[in-house]
Amino acid sequence: MDADEDDQVDLWDDEAGDLVLAEAALDCWDLLPGLVGPVTAFLDDPDGEIRASAWSTVAELLPHPDAADRAPALLPRLYAQALAALPYAFRLSPCPELGPYLRVAFPDGLPADPTPEQRGLAAELAARDELWDPVNGNRRITLRGLGLPDDREAWRAFSRG
């Protein structure tokens, strides 16, 4: 029998496969908060590649509701990593280099009462000419997908307060 992944799930004919996959996804999602702690041991690793990978992983894990309480304490340190990711931003979409940091820094869009790190990241993002090419669909997809403006002037205004 020649079947792809979806066909294999459909073999149950009673949607049980979809339920099994949904439960497996939830089980994995529930494990995420416990992973933040072990990964933080590598945030100051002397190897730059390991350090960058650890920060990106932490940024990916922090949006989980059970891990989100750790985000405010890590935001000042995440800020430096987000700035380091800016030169690589929006080459793909959604942007794996900057997107996780933006999701942590702006979980609910641009806030009314931003932190200095949020203002600084917005200013740096707006200041980089290479990120605002009018035909950069990756930027548009990434920012809109995160509920953030795809308008350079909006980022400049936000950074100024």
Q: What are the two backbone dihedrals, phi and then psi, of residue 91, each rounded to the nearest 5 degrees?
A: -80, -25
Q: Note the pLDDT of residue 107.
A: 83
pLDDT higher than 60, residue 15: no
Contact assessment for residue 73 and residue 104, using Cβ atoms and an 8 Å cutoff: no
**What single-letter amino acid sits at 51?**
R
pLDDT higher than 80, residue 70: no
What ranges make up the beta strands (E) of the chain? none
pLDDT band for 2, please (50, 70, 90 cuts).
very low
Q: Note the pLDDT of residue 77.
A: 77
For the chain, what is the mean pLDDT? 75
pLDDT higher than 80, residue 150: yes
Sequence-separated (6 or more) residues with CB below 8 Å from residue 46: none
pTM: 0.64
pLDDT higher than 60, residue 149: yes
State how many domains the chain has: 1
Q: Note the pLDDT of residue 14.
A: 54
- Average the pLDDT over 100-122 and give the result: 88
Contact assessment for residue 158 and residue 110, using Cβ atoms and an 8 Å cutoff: yes
Name the nearest CA neighbour of 102 among 158, 45, 153: 158
Range of the domain at 124: 5-160
pLDDT higher than 70, residue 5: no
pLDDT higher than 50, residue 40: yes
Contact assessment for residue 58 and residue 43, using Cβ atoms and an 8 Å cutoff: yes
Can you state the angle between helices 71-85 and 116-127, rounded to 10 degrees?
A: 20
pLDDT higher than 80, residue 11: no
pLDDT higher than 50, residue 9: no
Name the nearest CA neighbour of 150 among 161, 87, 135: 135
pLDDT band for 39, please (50, 70, 90 cuts).
confident
- Average the pLDDT over 64-83 and give the result: 72
- Residue 84 burial (C-beta neighbours within 10 Å; 0-12, 13-18, 19+): middle
Separation of alpha carbons 33 and 41, rounded Å: 15
